Amino acid sequence: MRSVPLGDTSMHRRHPSASSSLPAISEDGSFIESCDAPPIPPRATHRPTNQNLALSSPPIFNYDRSPPEYNSHFKEGPLDGEGGEKLSGLKWGLANNKHIAKRGGWKRLGIIAAIVLFCIVGLIVGVIVGVESRHSSSKSVSTGENGVQSGSGNGTGTGSGNGTGSNSSNGGPTTTEGPSNSTSNSANSTFPVGSYSINTYLSTVAANCTSNPATWLCWPYSTYAESQSSSNATFDWIITPVHDQPNNYTISSTPNIFSLVFTNLPLILKNAGTAEESYYFQTSMSKQTKPTTQLGKQNVAATCYFNSTTFQGYLYTQQPKTYPVGSANAIDMVTDGTFGEWPFAARIEQIAGGGEGTPTCVDPSGNSLGDFSEQDDSQLCDCLYLNYGT
């Protein structure tokens, strides 16, 4: 090994040629070169729209908090989830919506909202007006159907009556005029429509159509001449108007002791404008009697049938009645479904003609009890009921 003398310092000295590679260092700074601050770049003329803090979201970090650690994963700032952050997110979404961000977007949105609101209000008003109009029309129709039409100049009408009988499909013949004016029937414009009790008495009994008068019977089996108190017979009938046929009416019976059943027989106005003016009806039926005397050789209960019996009635509109005593000749109409008195005279008849097979009388087993017919068919059997002439 080569030794180096202690006083030799050439190995630690810098070569003079290397003095220009490093600058001199001065402790008082007299050799430091002056250096100016870098120039400030010009301000940008176009900033992104999301820099407008009025509509964009605020910085995701608060100034009084430290930033997250290096390489930490974050998508939401420390303020997210706190009060007001949802509103900030909504503002950011509205500001970046390309449809709203266009020129006039907010104005267009307001116009569309106003149009939608106007349509909704118009629809609601239309529905309300339609419902009220329908209700008003249904009420007017109901009033028209339930209303009672006023009578014609002759004192008749086609309003609904108080009876329960239904209209006939084959109403009576058309009449050109109703019953004539009178003081009594002008009080009720719907006359003769209504439900009436016709109080009569048995006036006459004729049994000429049979060889055995015991086979022909008339209830109540006593004439007025025989007993005034036992001769009363009451008929409860219902008169109804014919639909769409003014001054045309039908008449129907109610359950009765006479076994007389008829429905919606046409009423025909006869002798209009005279003192004999009346409503007339007629029908054919089989009259059944139960004689109280023995027929034939055996004493058994008998039933006789008069198969060609005519039942007819005249309901006068001018002629006064005299029965029952003290009854008034005025319309006694009621509206509660009960029967009022017929205000004028009435004539009611059952008529049977003679001839072969009239009557037919049988026992309870249906066996014939004999021939009781009258060969002369011009001979009549009759039950006559009146409420006048007493």
* Tens-digit pLDDT profile for residues 205-230: 999 999 999 999 999 999 999 999 99
> Whose structure tokens read 């001979």?
379
Q: Do both 204 and 313 map to the same domain?
A: yes
Q: Do both 301 and 190 map to the same domain?
A: yes
> Is residue 157's pLDDT more than 60?
no
Least confident of 168-172, 208-212, 246-250, 269-273: 168-172
Q: Do both 92 and 230 map to the same domain?
A: no
Angle at 92 between CA 87 and CA 98, to 5 degrees: 135
107 vs 110: CA distance, rounded Å: 5
> Whose structure tokens read 């030794």?
3
Question: Does some domain include residue 317?
Answer: yes
Number of domains in the chain: 2
* Residue closest to 306 by CA, chosen among 290, 287, 330: 287
Q: Do both 88 and 199 map to the same domain?
A: no
118 vs 111: CA distance, rounded Å: 11
Question: Does some domain include residue 324?
Answer: yes
Q: Provide the pLDDT for residue 136.
A: 62
* CB crowding 178-195: b at 16 or more within 10 Å, else e: bbbebebbeebbbbbbbb
Question: Does some domain include residue 84?
Answer: yes
Domain that holds residue 91: 50-59+79-101
* Position with higher pLDDT, 44 vs 346: 346
Q: Do both 97 and 190 map to the same domain?
A: no
Q: Average model confidence (pLDDT) for the chain?
A: 74
> Is residue 156's pLDDT more than 50?
no
Question: Does some domain include residue 162?
Answer: no
Token pair in block for residue 255? 């359950």
Question: Does some domain include residue 192?
Answer: yes
Confidence of residue 109 (pLDDT cuts 50, 70, 90): confident
Compute the residue count for the chain.
390
Question: Does some domain include residue 123?
Answer: no
Token pair in block for residue 242? 């014919």
Q: Do both 199 and 54 map to the same domain?
A: no
Question: Does some domain include residue 315?
Answer: yes
205 beta partners: 383
pTM of the model: 0.53
Residue 158: Cβ within 10 Å count? 23
Q: Do both 272 and 378 map to the same domain?
A: yes
Angle at 173 between CA 168 and CA 176, to 5 degrees: 125
Query: How far lies 186's CA from each of 151, 152, 157, 319, in Å?
Result: 9, 10, 11, 15
Question: Does some domain include residue 1?
Answer: no
